[in-house]
Structure 1
Amino acid sequence: MPLIFQEEINSATRLGIWKIEEEAAFFRNKVPVHRQVTHPHKMLQHLAGRYLLQYLFPGFPYHLVQIADTRKPYIGGDAFHFSISHCGDFAAAIISETERVGVDIEKPVEKIIHIRNKFISTAEKEALNPLSIEELTQIWSAKEAVFKWYGAGQVDFKEHIRLLAYNDDPPCFNCCFTKNNTLLNVFLNQLSGLCLSYVATKK
């Protein structure tokens, strides 16, 4: 089964990762397309992410999905809060009836070393001491998850998303989102060569 990871965070919040092995026709017969995507693989990612929402929460009301000016899909009234991420042949989704959520998956690549100063502050370097490609990618992924959790755009990753410390049990970053002075836990995982990060807070 292409579902390679699933977690029930609580009774109303579910997270999953799907390995995309199907053709687009498999997904088209099951989920609607909410925006036109011309690149074939990006369309496949788009469809797989939305199918995963349905898989995690059968009966998910697709007909209510709207697209914000920031290109973030949402359902008015906050009946469900959800977030989708794509990377290569993988799609991740988190969906909740009670939590505000954000998710991100990334594949570690060497390029991250060359752009690290764009998203990691001096204080974060001292607190976290990230050296490896995997560690740098996990930090980037964590900040992407916070960005998606916020959902309103206009976020400076270095200034507004400050990772304060790393904890082992469970693996997570303590984070301060300075745009609204919110303290967050960004939960982490590594599997199938991917870095996974997610945020879930009460609405």
Structure 2
Amino acid sequence: MGLVYLRELNSETKLAIWRIEETADELLSRLQLDEREKARLESLGKGKRTLHWLATRVLLRYLLKTEDYIACPSDDNGKPFLPDYPYKISLTHSFDYAGVLMSTQGECGIDLEIVKDKVLRVKEKFLKPKELAFIQDNNIEQLYACWCAKEAVYKLQGNKGVSFLEDMTILPFQYKPQGIMTLLLRKERKTQFFQVYYEKFQDYMLGYVVADEK
């Protein structure tokens, strides 16, 4: 099917979601890979991980409006970047979908998760008691919105060792199918505030955030 969601958040930022119905060979036929990428692809083996990796790269080409080779390495923390373009990027995938967020405004993060009740069993692992206190009747969608927000900020800041539970705090918010929440990141005596957008997308929850570095 290909592209199923495209949104320009502002003149500097856009996100897109791709529904993966192609085979790995079909996706691969749309790409050019260097030797490092070929080795990375080989290490993934067969299955969803390969499809996810390929689909995010196809989606990057769609957003950048080019069929040429796009270098997209990762830094030492695993954060992907585009050395030949001015955009900061973040990638996500879940089951049959892959997503890309890109911005010239600042660092960004995106997360897409299928909504399942298993989150009820792990909610204490990523939310403090004071955060759980504002969750409405164990609202599964609200719990996923919180998870996606923390994952998106984790990807934005790009450093390993940041704890969802200890270092991130979400301020109380009333859940709606689409909204904004405020997240505090405290690490190494520094506090940052992020406005994280979330929205229900079919059977999934989507969270995304962009830092204003200008």
TM-score (norm 2): 0.86
- Residue 200 of structure 1 pairs with residue 195 of structure 2: no
The offset of 1:3, in angstroms, is 1.6
Residue 4 of structure 2 is matched in structure 1 by 4
Residue 22 of structure 1 is matched in structure 2 by 22
Residue 99 of structure 1 is matched in structure 2 by 106
Question: Any runs of at least 4 consecutive aligned residues in structure 1 with deviations exceeding 3 A, and if so which?
Answer: 59-64, 127-130, 167-170
Residue 82 of structure 2 is matched in structure 1 by 75
Give, as a single letter, the amino acid of the residue that structure 1 aligns with 2:93: H
Gaps of 5+ in 1: none
Greater alpha carbon shift after TM alignment, 5-14 vs 75-84: 75-84
CA RMSD of aligned residues (A): 2.2
Instruction: Work out whether residues 53 and 60 of structure 1, in 8 Å CA contact, stay in contact via their aligned partners in 2.
Output: no
Q: Deviations over 1:142-195 (max 9, x none)?
A: 111111111111111011111013266960111111124111111011022000
Gap change, CA 1:27 and 1:76, over 3 Å in 2: same
In structure 2, distance between residues paired with 1:130 and 1:30: 46
Pick one of 123, 126, 138 that aligns with 1:131: 138
TM-score (norm 1): 0.90
Q: Which secondary structure state, in structure 2, belongs to the residue aligned with residue 166 of structure 1?
A: coil
Pick one of 88, 96, 111 that aligns with 1:89: 96
The offset of 1:49, in angstroms, is 1.1
Q: Deviations over 1:41-95 (max 9, x none)?
A: 2101111011112212214985442222222211348822101111000011101
**Bigger proportion of residues as strand:** 1
Give, as a single letter, the amino acid of the residue that structure 2 aligns with 1:4: V
Greater alpha carbon shift after TM alignment, 20-29 vs 32-41: 32-41
Instruction: Work out whether residues 71 and 84 of structure 2, in 8 Å CA contact, stay in contact via their aligned partners in 1.
Output: no
